[in-house]
Amino acid sequence: MNKIARKYLVWFAQEHTEFRSAEIDSLRAMLKTDMKPCDNPDTNAPYWIVESASETDLKRLVNRSVSIRSCFELWAHAKNIDDLHQKLRNYPRHLMEPYFQKDLSFKIQVETFCKHLTQKEKVNKLETFSYLPIKGPVKLTDPDVCLQYIEYYGTNANDPPEFPYFVFFGRWVAGGLRNLMKKLSLKTRKFIGNTSMDPQLSLLMANQAQVRSGDMVLDPFVGSGSLLVAAAEFGGYVIGGDIDYLMLHARTRPSRITQKERSADESIKANMDQYNLQHRYLDVLINDFALSFWRDNVEFDSIITDPPYGIREATERVGTNKENFKVSEEHLSSHIPAKIEYGISNIYKDLLNFSAKHLRLGGRLVCWFPVFREDYKEEGLPGHPCLDLVANCEQVLSKVTSRRLLTFEKIRQPEASELNLECNITDFREKYFIVREETRKERRTREARVRKENWIKSGKNKDNLIK
């Protein structure tokens, strides 16, 4: 049977908007949904109008999305309120009546975007819909049918127009992952580190990696394991590695200002227990990523990681610059290996070669890559002939720096000659430190100059007044 595509309104969260399209693309490909935007969506606006022939498929996509707040079956939309009512009155009865049955409770919600309405104003708006032939009882919490009326006043909250640009009316269909983000909040998580990834970005990374139930997922720079939590939420069996013994045994200094020392039972595993994901926790290993301990034919479904950039977390590998160094017999049992600089370009070189070898065909590598914005060129990104860069989104961190979320998909098995390819990646940190220092110094001298000028000005003004 050919299903007819219906129109839906997808309402996004206005946060991390730069990842929106990439996330929807990843989810559409993973869940094989037919959802497509009706016309080119305005990138500034928080909504898309889309078409889909299967509401079930669409629901699955929305339920899995970090970017989407909610999704409505669009009954009417217009540029002004009168037109909206006109259109809604003309909406085919047989399409709305299934939701207006006697035994179905309902509520109508009034929402305004970028303008505040008082409760009374909202109630007044609500009453303008009294012509709808609803037979069921009103129920404010958890009704069977939720209808939504939205007035969109643009995105400039400081100066909203008198009348909305667009108005929408529809039936609520599904909500995104906003509640899960609250549940996984770092504020309430047992074990966190200084650079734990927040749940929103962690879940987004797991979506970019298209983590499915029963996947085996690796984070080779696992730290406190935030990315594993997100991957396990989506059904991934997770495994991690890190060079930092103290971190994996949760013996580093606590990251919470209120916490004097780590409690004895902190660990990545304890986080999994906290979220009831312990059955999807495989292991974490203390190892040096530069030296692979994995069996040659081990395959992961996805590799999700945030490698150290050498700014807040050191880039280190085991090694020494001393010649002919040998650990003496007596110290062997308690020896802590010395570490040398790993170097950002070597980390990414190893990460891409490793992924080309150990990802299953079609599996994805999702990682952050720090860049110096002024110097950024797509050619400067790490790459590998077996890995196709399918998404590249920027998260701005400061005026001069940002990090990019890179998503690679493995398109073929590497040849023997491609197992240890060099890639030339410029180390952005040299400039990062220099520029930061300059701007800080410049800023201070500038501020001092401005203060002095103001002081002189105000002095003169007073002089003028006296005269």
Partner 1 sequence: MKLLTHNMLTSKCMKAVTVGYPLAINASDVRVSEVDFNPDFIAKIIPKVDWAVLWNAAESIGQLEGLPKEIVENYENDQDFLKKAHHVLLEVDVINGELICPETGRKFPINNGIPNLLLNEDEV
Residue 327 touches partner 1, criterion: CB under 8 A:
yes
Residue 362 touches partner 1, criterion: CB under 8 A:
no
Task: Measure the CA–CA gap between 326 and 390, rounded to whole angstroms.
Answer: 46
Q: How many CB atoms lie within 10 A of CB 460?
A: 10
Residue 334 touches partner 1, criterion: CB under 8 A:
no
Site residues for partner 1, 245-264, by CB under 8 A, read 245, 248-249
Integer distance in angstroms from the first to the last C-alpha of the chain?
91
- Quote the tokens at residue 86: 């006109």
If the CB atoms of residues 158 and 213 are measured against partner 1, the closer one turns out to be 213
Task: Measure the CA–CA gap between 44 and 54, rounded to whole angstroms.
Answer: 27
Site residues for partner 1, 182-221, by CB under 8 A, read 213-214, 216
- Quote the tokens at residue 265: 């039972």
Stretch that binds partner 1, among 112-120, 243-251, 305-313, 457-465 (CB under 8 A): 243-251
If the CB atoms of residues 285 and 400 are measured against partner 1, the closer one turns out to be 285
In DSSP terms, which residues pair with 283 in a beta bridge? 239
Residue 30 touches partner 1, criterion: CB under 8 A:
no
Task: Pick from 99, 172, 294, 368 the residue near partner 1 by CB under 8 A.
Answer: 294
Q: Are strands 68-78 and 6-12 parallel, antiparallel or unpaired?
A: antiparallel
If the CB atoms of residues 32 and 335 are measured against partner 1, the closer one turns out to be 335
Task: Pick from 93, 120, 295, 467 the residue near partner 1 by CB under 8 A.
Answer: 295
Residue 3 touches partner 1, criterion: CB under 8 A:
no
Find the shortest distance in angstroms from Cβ 282 to partner 1: 6
Task: Measure the CA–CA gap between 356 and 267, rounded to whole angstroms.
Answer: 30
Find the shortest distance in angstroms from Cβ 225 to partner 1: 12
If the CB atoms of residues 137 and 214 are measured against partner 1, the closer one turns out to be 214
Using CB under 8 A as the binding criterion, the count of chain residues that bind partner 1 stands at 39
Site residues for partner 1, 274-293, by CB under 8 A, read 278-279, 282-288, 291-293
Residue 341 touches partner 1, criterion: CB under 8 A:
no
Task: Pick from 319, 345, 389, 392 the residue near partner 1 by CB under 8 A.
Answer: 319
In DSSP terms, which residues pair with 50 in a beta bridge? 8, 37
Question: In this structure, are residues 348 and 307 in contact, taking their beta carbons and an 8 Å threshold?
Answer: yes
Stretch that binds partner 1, among 158-166, 236-244, 307-315, 429-437 (CB under 8 A): 236-244
Task: For residue 454, report the phi and psi dihedrals to the nearest 5 degrees.
Answer: -60, -40
* Alpha-carbon radius of gyration of the chain: 27
Question: In this structure, are residues 255 and 223 in contact, taking their beta carbons and an 8 Å threshold?
Answer: no
Task: Pick from 18, 57, 299, 427 the residue near partner 1 by CB under 8 A.
Answer: 299
Find the shortest distance in angstroms from Cβ 284 to partner 1: 6
- Quote the tokens at residue 96: 């709305």
Contacts 24+ apart (CB under 8 A), 193-198: 193/223, 193/224, 193/247, 193/252, 193/255, 194/255, 194/312, 194/313, 195/223, 195/306, 195/312, 195/313, 196/223, 196/224, 196/226, 196/255, 197/226, 197/227, 197/306, 198/226
Find the shortest distance in angstroms from Cβ 267 to partner 1: 8
Site residues for partner 1, 155-184, by CB under 8 A, read none
Task: Give contact residues for partner 1 (rule: CB under 8 A).
Answer: 213-214, 216, 237, 239, 243, 245, 248-249, 267, 269, 278-279, 282-288, 291-299, 318-320, 325-327, 332, 335, 337-338
